[in-house]
C-alpha cells in the first residue's frame, strides 16, 4: 500500500502525467481515494486533482464534474460489497463494467452529459437503471 499512497499523493498534487492516465487509472485512483476518505472529502480531493491534471495538460475544459462525481459514487457504492482489505485488482475483477467509460450510459443520456451544465456541476441522472 505505500506505493499506492505515494501515487495518490502525487495525483492530489497534480504531479501525474496526464498523457498516461487512461480511464482505468481514473477508476483505480478513485478507489484508492475512497479507501482513505469519506465520500464528500474524496469527491473534493479527486475533483481538485483532476482539474489540476486537466490544466497541466493545457485542457482545463476537459474536466467534467458530473462524470467525476457519478463515477466516484458508483465506485463508493460498489466498495460496500467488497471484502475489507481487497485490492484494486480484486475490485476491478468484481466490477468490470466500471472499467468502461460508457458505464454511465445506464443512468445518463449522452445529450445530458454533453451539456456545459454537466461539466460545471453535478447533474442527477435522467435515466432509471
Sorted by where each begins, the domain ranges of the chain are 2-101
- pLDDT score recorded for residue 2: 57
Which of 2-16, 33-47, 52-66 shows the highest mean pLDDT? 33-47
Burial label for 50, CB within 10 Å (0-12, 13-18, 19+), is buried
Decide: 24 and 99 in contact? Cβ < 8 Å. Answer: yes
Please give the Cα distance from 107 to 122 (Å, whole number): 13
pTM of the model: 0.90
Q: How large is the average pLDDT for residues 11-26?
A: 84
- pLDDT score recorded for residue 89: 94
Confidence band for 13, pLDDT divided at 50, 70 and 90: confident
Q: Which residue, 56, 48, 68, 46, is CA-closest to 20?
A: 56
Q: Is the pLDDT of residue 106 over 80?
A: yes
Confidence band for 104, pLDDT divided at 50, 70 and 90: very high
- pLDDT score recorded for residue 18: 78
Q: Is the pLDDT of residue 112 over 70?
A: yes
The number of C-alpha atoms within 13 Å of 9 and in the hemisphere containing its C-beta is 6
Confidence band for 101, pLDDT divided at 50, 70 and 90: very high
Decide: 32 and 88 in contact? Cβ < 8 Å. Answer: yes
Q: How large is the average pLDDT for residues 47-72?
A: 92
Confidence band for 63, pLDDT divided at 50, 70 and 90: very high
Amino acid at each position: 500500500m505505500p506505493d499506492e499512497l505515494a501515487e495518490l499523493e502525487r495525483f492530489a498534487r497534480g504531479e501525474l502525467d496526464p498523457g498516461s492516465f487512461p480511464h482505468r487509472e481514473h477508476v483505480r485512483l478513485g478507489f484508492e481515494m475512497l479507501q482513505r476518505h469519506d465520500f464528500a472529502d474524496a469527491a473534493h480531493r479527486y475533483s481538485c486533482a483532476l482539474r489540476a491534471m486537466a490544466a497541466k495538460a493545457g485542457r482545463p475544459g476537459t474536466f467534467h464534474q458530473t462524470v467525476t462525481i457519478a463515477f466516484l459514487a458508483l465506485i463508493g457504492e460498489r466498495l460496500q460489497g467488497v471484502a475489507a482489505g481487497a485490492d484494486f485488482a480484486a475490485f476491478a475483477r468484481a466490477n468490470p463494467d466500471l472499467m468502461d467509460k460508457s458505464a454511465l450510459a445506464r443512468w445518463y443520456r449522452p445529450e445530458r452529459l454533453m451539456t456545459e451544465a454537466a461539466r460545471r456541476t453535478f447533474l442527477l441522472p435522467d435515466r432509471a437503471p
